[in-house]
Amino acid sequence: MIEKYQQIVSMLLTLTSEERVEWEKTSGNEYKVNVGNNYITILYHEASPCIVVANAAPDIDFLKLLLWNQNGELIDEVKIEKRDFGSTDYDNLMALYVAARRSYGKVYDALDNIIIELDKTAKKD
């Protein structure tokens, strides 16, 4: 992955974990975030299990980081396959995907609420 993408992934990961950027769900299996005039989406493709077609390339998991312009045109994309598992790029991109999914789902708020409710229940007893 080119250095600038690595930098963007790292910065987005930090900002997402600090809840300073908000991700939205798109119509595909991806999450998007607006950055100035452009926006970025992150997509995770999960391979279909146990489907083997003769003479066809095996379906494998991959992550994609897509860059869009203000006219809604896809201008670039970076694809990292699971076979690169263990590489820093794949790990960072997966961490960003998970962080984006949690940001969209407001997972940390939900977890906080659950902890408060559980705490209340524990105190009642």
* Chain positions contacting other proteins, by CB under 8 A: 25-30, 32, 34, 39, 41, 45, 68, 70-74
Which residue in 37, 110, 100, 36 sits closest to 65, CA to CA?
100
Between 6 and 79, whose beta carbon lies closer to other proteins? 79
CB of 71 to other proteins, least distance (A): 6
Q: Which residue, 77 or 91, has its beta carbon nearer to other proteins?
A: 77
What distance in Å separates the CA atoms of residue 45 and residue 32, rounded to the nearest whole number? 15
Give CA–CA dist 81/64, Å, rounded.
9
What is the separation, in whole angstroms, between the first and last Cα of the chain?
54
> Given the complex with other proteins, which of 47 and 114 has the nearer CB atom?
47
In whole angstroms, how close is the CB of 114 to other proteins at the nearest point? 26
